[in-house]
Structure 1
Amino acid sequence: MWAILRASKPIRSQSCCVLVMRFLYAKPGASSNFGYGEHQHSKDDQLNVACHLTRPVSCVCFLPQVSLVWARELSSQVKSRSIDKDDDLEDGFSELEEPPETDNIVEHANMDDDEMVSEGDSTGEDNDDAGEDALGLPDTKSKYGEKVVGRKNQSSPLFKVIIEASRPSLSNALDKWVEEGNSLGRGEISLALLNLRKRRFYGKALQFMEWLEATKRLDFGEREYASRLDLVAKVLGIQKAEKYIEKIPSSLRGEIIYRTLLANCVSAVNVKKAEEVFNKIRDLGFPLTVFVCNQLLLLYKRVDRKKISDVLKMMEKEDVKPSLFTYRLLIDTKGRINDISGMEDVIAAMKAEGVEPDLYLQAMIAKYYICAGHNGKAEAALKDMEKGDISDNRAACKSLLPLHASLGKVDDVRRIWNVCEHNPRLEECLAAIEAWGNLGNIEEAEKVFEKMMNSWKKLSSKYYNALLKVYANHKLLSKGKELAKRMSDSGCRIGPLTVDALVKLYVLAGEVEKADSILHKALDQNQIKPLYSTYICVLEKYTERGDIHNAEKMFHRLRHMGYVGRMRQYQLLLQAYINGKTPAYGFRERMKADNIFPNKAVLAQLHAVDAFKKTDILELLD
């Protein structure tokens, strides 16, 4: 049997969970739960327990972001991998597991169509979550990151028509396209939807699918309905998605439909609704799949690590075999709480099951070794990634560059970049800019950027953002301003990642008020949804100052933008009151009203705030 779990003894300030495989627990005295206590399930293994947030624990060392893949995939892709992938890709409605980056992701469900045009191939990230991000139509990458079909750069005349048409005129533009005798086969539809999703033009993608259904240009089956359901959830929200399900013919209301809804509930961190959908899946008698289990693991990894044990026990009971993605989740969970021994137990068990880590997972493992100070193990992991001659393993270069930089290995960064430099790929350039920036070699980072500018006619804002982040990290405000002007002159559109980079540029330079202004203007003028991490960056500065007024303002902006249910913002706001030496009256009640339950760290903060409470005598004297 694949795995069982147990809990390590709780660490004072962490909700620490240790996963081990059954054969690793032949030790006497090993306990059998993953968190602080056991959860009892009904005979149907339904999850209906309250959610208690735990304090996010992350490494503080300066490392490249190797984000956990957040699986925002349509469930149709979770079938056996023995099915022909090309068939799935051809029909255009099977969806692949894919990140969100980071630690983000997730954050873009309600964005306006046009805002991500220059950043559509990048994923926004939240430092605590990665993101899970886009749930795209068939991408050119499988869920493990390898290429499966060379469609990424295929042009689509239909996509161009959709993009150029305004929303009110889109139906007329599509009618005209058909009247002119242009092809509207399944392949062309699939490619257009792929490009729309890849650039996060979810609104227009939904309009396009509505037109296809209304004009009967496409026969809708379960996967087509699931694809439209996903777009409804992204653009209009979970409630509208639930109503749309009622319109789907009952004969086509299968497990793919509900798994798609579950994925969107998890993406929105809607714990209550996600558990309701899971129970619905069980009530309808659909088989428990690794996809469903992975979605629950994603959810509880973010909000309540203690419940990971419940999901793993359920998987064992139902004989659900873990996928490579399952192991990624568990390894990432262990790495984030700095439990290197537990992480290695998972790796050993994974290999014992015959599952070999891919490059992405190898990079993640190396990152956590570096973060924990196990440099020798990290170097061994990087050597395994290189597989001898790095020139024969170009795919590893983009991961190796920032990892070697985190170890301070200037010679290794230069050696790997020399392999790429004569014919670089864009992702390798991004990695090199990050690596040289981490090493403090601003000049080399700028050289790589200029090489990109000279090699490609027009770069999206994603590539400017890489250098902008370097300038921000080194407090080079004037250079950052110059680069921002170049971005403007080149016609780059502002998206969440650009706003994030600009805000952090000013915050790290000590100009938090200017950063706050940029954030406010970006929201008002560009109608974009800034990243969670962008707000948190500003909130942290106000917290340091003990600026309660502005901290409260930023906290309410987070709530207004839909960023709720995360402990971090409550911790920061409480700390602002502590730093400002002011009592936070009614804070416990505020948290309770938001269904947020304090962990040990927050309880300590609440106690500290209570210490500022005035006595009755002092109240009278005032």
Structure 2
Amino acid sequence: MPACIRVYRVYRCSLSWKWSRGLSSGAARACFGKSEIAGWCLENYNAGVTKPQGKLCDRLLSSTGFHNTKSSCSKSQSEVRTFSSQAGAGNSGQEDDELEDGFSDLEKPSHVAQESTSGDESESDDDLISRSELSGEEDVAEDIQNELEALGTETDVEVKKSPETSAMAKAILDAPASLVSTVLDKWVEEGNEVTQNEVSLTMFQLRIRRFFIKALQLSEWVESTKHLEFNEKNYASRLDLIAKVHGISRAEQYLKQIPKSFRGEIVYRTLLANYVSCTNVKKSEELFNKIKELEFPMTCFTCNQMLILYKRVDKKKIADVLLLMEKENIKPTIFTYQILIDVKGQSNDILGMEQIVETLKAEGLEPNSKIQTSLARYYALGGLKDKAEAILKEMEGDDIKKRRWVCHLLLPIYASLGWEDEVGRIWKVCEPNPQARECMAAIEAWGQLKRIENAEAAFDKLLEKVKKPTSRHFAALMKVYADNKMSAKGNDLVKRMVDSGCKIEPLAWDAVVKLYVRAGEVEKAVSILKKAIKQKTGKPLLFSSYLSVMDKYANRGDVHSAEKIFLMMRQAGYTARLQQYQSLLHAYINAKAPAYGFSDRMKADKIFPNKALASKLAQVDAFRKSPLTELLE
């Protein structure tokens, strides 16, 4: 049986099992009437019954059927900058009071904004934030894997087999960003040859270090000096780097400059990956349809991008993508299984998650470290400690010292299980000479266990390891202070961060905002939020930063302030999501105020309530009107 059909039947079985517990047989038959996996029409599997999707495959391929969800990043990154500045100015007619304890320093531009001149592994472009941070994801490795696959780099055998830093990469890493072209000219004058393999390997090594500015300068130098004749992969790489450094709008302009003969599937899927990265639903769907219209081969990578997108914004649409894969006989990759396992795990569908793993193995594949980490984490969250431990021990192997590379994955999961001895055992292996990522994992782990001194010691180790810490490094300890409501220590850490000269990025702003929210100082958190918005960096604040403040106002029953945060999120480029409406409705309930027109607002935003939200809507519907029934139909 083809893999693309096997995985769908697994979904049918797991969904059928859940329905037998929570839905009527009539509802189940209604969803199953169209397809084996049309059960994806249930949002998050327990969100309540919605209409069957009808001709899902046909809708997926039609130009109109896809456009029923607004983009949460409908503007380019450069346009988001305008939204951000307006958001800061439009919410109040008065200037914010100066923050206490030196927090007004956060508004000052950093006096150090250039790239490091060192090749240390942790010193990536400090004026660029990784795509994973913008989307709120914590695992940078998945993002790297995705972008390299988009460019076809994962198929370059020479690149994969080269663990050592190339001579060209060493020259670039040792140079300031402003002198990359000069250093490369000198490198050639010294008799070094510029080959396609050397350039590909160097580009790969710059990317995994997140040196996007230098990578872009390398690409520009190679083309301007005509050392190599550009192929489609070279153009795709340039487009991807432009999107990262200058924003989506500039990347779109560059696409028009690429010779038509080189505007192939790799170039378009690279642009698609960048649209998905910033959760631009409208443009992602439009480009997906254009790829079909241009009659490029429909690849699993392209479908995976849509799965990633809908995993974030609309899980019931995953059915559309899976049905298309079935129709086109597209074989799932290990990354496809990884996405679907995450969807199942996030929905606490442990049985479904396990069935996906069995299907993966039946296809001759083995779970990689990313999948193993996800399984262990979801088992831990579900209280299945024995199963989580079995996965973790399998990852460790017989000798953890020989599998040192998994230590940073193990630390947070052992901490989530509450096993302090295991965290101490793993950290003892790393502590004498820790990698930066191991220090970050240790900070998180000790923070979960409320061992603050240990987390601080791991942070000190991190500062010893890196020559130029970024705000992402400070944010790791800031999160520990926020989770433990230690505002005084958080205040001191922010001062250290500012004094270090590193640029404050969204992940760090998020940690500072949550520090004060969790300490009960929501007004100070809002002041920090507004100051962060005024920073004209073109990088949007994290969704969770706004939502944490909104939730605090909701708990207080402060409808006016909660509505203001809702508006700020719109101005920042975020479209409405279910979580926002849940928080906002909670504010109305706590204020004992009727939410007139709330159902209509949700309809306008294409947001459909789950069972929990539907029951709350009834509480605030002053006249108990029937439109709620219409909304659920």
Same fold, TM exceeding 0.5? Answer: yes
* Structure-2 change in CA distance of 1:208 and 1:597 (3 Å): farther
Q: Could you tell me which residue of structure 2 aligns to residue 351 of structure 1?
A: 361
In 2, the alpha carbon distance for the partners of 1:14 and 1:190 equals 52
Counting only pairs closer than 5 Å after superposition, residues 478-517 of structure 1 correspond to structure 2 as 478-517=488-527
Q: Could you tell me which residue of structure 2 aligns to residue 422 of structure 1?
A: 432
- Stretch moving more, 598-607 or 283-292: 598-607
- Stretch moving more, 409-418 or 127-136: 127-136
Deviation at 1:473, TM superposition (A): 0.9
Q: Secondary structure at the match of 1:510?
A: coil
Tell me if structure 1 keeps the 8 A contact 2:442–2:455: yes
Q: Could you tell me which residue of structure 2 aligns to residue 46 of structure 1?
A: 61
Q: Could you tell me which residue of structure 1 aligns to residue 133 of structure 2?
A: 124
* Structure-2 change in CA distance of 1:298 and 1:375 (3 Å): same
Deviation at 1:492, TM superposition (A): 2.7
- Stretch moving more, 304-313 or 394-403: 304-313
* Structure-2 change in CA distance of 1:160 and 1:463 (3 Å): same
Letter in 1 for 2:368: D
Deviation at 1:508, TM superposition (A): 1.0
Deviation at 1:349, TM superposition (A): 0.9
Letter in 2 for 1:321: K
Deviation at 1:391, TM superposition (A): 2.1
Q: Could you tell me which residue of structure 2 aligns to residue 8 of structure 1?
A: 16
In 1, the alpha carbon distance for the partners of 2:615 and 2:139 equals 28
What is the number of equivalent residue pairs in this alignment? 534
Letter in 2 for 1:332: D
Counterpart among 215, 221, 232 of residue 231 in structure 2: 221
In 1, the alpha carbon distance for the partners of 2:536 and 2:338 equals 36
Counterpart among 404, 412, 422 of residue 402 in structure 1: 412
| Residues 351-395 of structure 1: per-residue CA shift (max 9 Å, x gap) | 111111112211110110111111111111112111122222212
Q: Secondary structure at the match of 2:302?
A: helix
In 1, the alpha carbon distance for the partners of 2:528 and 2:236 equals 38
Counterpart among 22, 36, 40 of residue 35 in structure 1: 40
**Is 1:150 equivalent to 2:163 in the alignment?**
yes
Letter in 2 for 1:230: D
**Is 1:556 equivalent to 2:567 in the alignment?**
yes
- Stretch moving more, 148-157 or 318-327: 148-157
- Stretch moving more, 210-219 or 423-432: 210-219
In 2, the alpha carbon distance for the partners of 1:609 and 1:113 equals 52
Tell me if structure 1 keeps the 8 A contact 2:59–2:66: no
Deviation at 1:342, TM superposition (A): 0.6
Tell me if structure 2 keeps the 8 A contact 1:119–1:460: no
* Structure-2 change in CA distance of 1:206 and 1:605 (3 Å): farther
In 2, the alpha carbon distance for the partners of 1:599 and 1:312 equals 23
Deviation at 1:327, TM superposition (A): 0.6
| Residues 135-163 of structure 1: per-residue CA shift (max 9 Å, x gap) | 76799x969xx975436698555567663
- Stretch moving more, 528-537 or 576-585: 576-585
In 2, the alpha carbon distance for the partners of 1:175 and 1:451 equals 35
Q: TM-score, normalised by structure 2?
A: 0.73
Counterpart among 579, 586, 600 of residue 590 in structure 2: 579
Q: Could you tell me which residue of structure 2 aligns to residue 57 of structure 1?
A: none
Q: Secondary structure at the match of 1:124?
A: helix
Letter in 1 for 2:16: S
In 2, the alpha carbon distance for the partners of 1:467 and 1:122 equals 21
Letter in 2 for 1:427: R
* Structure-2 change in CA distance of 1:388 and 1:191 (3 Å): closer
Tell me if structure 1 keeps the 8 A contact 2:172–2:214: no
| Residues 87-119 of structure 1: per-residue CA shift (max 9 Å, x gap) | xxxxxxxxxxxxxxxxxxxxxxxxx99896178
In 1, the alpha carbon distance for the partners of 2:411 and 2:57 equals 49
Q: Secondary structure at the match of 2:61?
A: coil
Letter in 2 for 1:117: D
Counterpart among 393, 400, 403 of residue 393 in structure 1: 403
* Structure-2 change in CA distance of 1:583 and 1:191 (3 Å): farther
Structure with more contact order per residue of length (Cα contacts < 8 Å, sep ≥ 6)? 2
In 2, the alpha carbon distance for the partners of 1:517 and 1:299 equals 32
Counting only pairs closer than 5 Å after superposition, residues 199-210 of structure 1 correspond to structure 2 as none
Q: TM-score, normalised by structure 1?
A: 0.74
Tell me if structure 2 keeps the 8 A contact 1:582–1:612: no
In 2, the alpha carbon distance for the partners of 1:130 and 1:51 equals 29
In 2, the alpha carbon distance for the partners of 1:586 and 1:203 equals 48
Letter in 2 for 1:46: L
Gaps in structure 1 of 5+ consecutive residues: 16-29, 55-111, 166-172, 615-622
In 2, the alpha carbon distance for the partners of 1:180 and 1:384 equals 46
- Stretch moving more, 536-545 or 523-532: 523-532
Q: Could you tell me which residue of structure 2 aligns to residue 59 of structure 1?
A: none
The Cα RMSD (Å) is 4.0
Letter in 2 for 1:8: S
Tell me if structure 2 keeps the 8 A contact 1:113–1:204: no
Q: Secondary structure at the match of 1:377?
A: helix
| Residues 217-250 of structure 1: per-residue CA shift (max 9 Å, x gap) | 6533222222233345446655664454343322
**Is 1:163 equivalent to 2:177 in the alignment?**
yes
**Is 1:440 equivalent to 2:440 in the alignment?**
no
